[in-house]
Structure 1
Amino acid sequence: MALRLSTGLRNKLLGTSGFKSIMQYGVIRIFPGVQPSSADDAEGATPLLEITVSSGTFSPGTGENGLNFGDPVDGACAKAASEVWSGVASATGTAGWFRFYATDRTTGADTTHARFDGSVSTSGAQLNMSSTAITAGATTTIDSFTVTMPAS
């Protein structure tokens, strides 16, 4: 039989002493190509764009324009409702995957810093966008983003 977590435990793991705190003031980078097999692996590509609060310049380690999550509900943590998550593309290409970095934005191969990856598509991915076509100079906005702690 599978281990099953209560909603209360899931919310605590996601909440102020867990995921929400660890990933506070983070940043998302969207990359072309194939997602690495692990979030510990190097990116292997130049990002197409970086998502921050209101497309602001991100300063690693300071929290300036870093992304935040709201309080967990039913084992899920969504982007802070008060924030606009957006970025201006630095390159043109097709979005294939993203990496969400904690505020330190440690890049390259690394097994000690907090970050997670996911796929990008127009549907059925961890990050769904209206279009995966990214154009240099154009702004991309992330309207919704939710991380769910599985019950089992």
Structure 2
Amino acid sequence: MEISEPLTEPTLVTREAHPAVIVRHLGVRADQLPSLFDAGFPALAASGVPINGPAFAAYHGDPSASFDLDIGFPVAETLGDPVQVGELTVRASELPGGELFGLTHVGPYDTLAQSWDRLATAATERGLQPSGFFEVYVTEPSPEVDPATLRTDLFLVV
């Protein structure tokens, strides 16, 4: 699902859905995100399912209230039965496809809201009606990575 070149302006793109594995969290608040990511990505890695691209997070509902969150990775083949890793269940899903409205954010995660606001404003100006949204973490975060260089592709499903 990765886009090779950064989307420096809000852009309509058409992509195919891609099989994925996820850990789903229901009734999430924004202040819970760091701990959910910290637990979710290691559980996905420990599941033994071969990944096929960068990590993503799909949000379902109102991010300013309570929402559902899917943390995942694209995979080459659809997962069969769910895999239990500790208290978390790794299950099959897909990275959304179809018509997407996207923008690339370069910088630390704590400034993502500014890019999301830019994308949402552009969508409203174009009369687009999003039905969901997700982030693709193109740059794998690590202690050695300069936060100013982190690339995250943002997408609205329209």
Name the TM-score, length of structure 2 as normaliser: 0.30
Q: Which of the pair is proportionally richer in helix?
A: 2
Name the TM-score, length of structure 1 as normaliser: 0.30
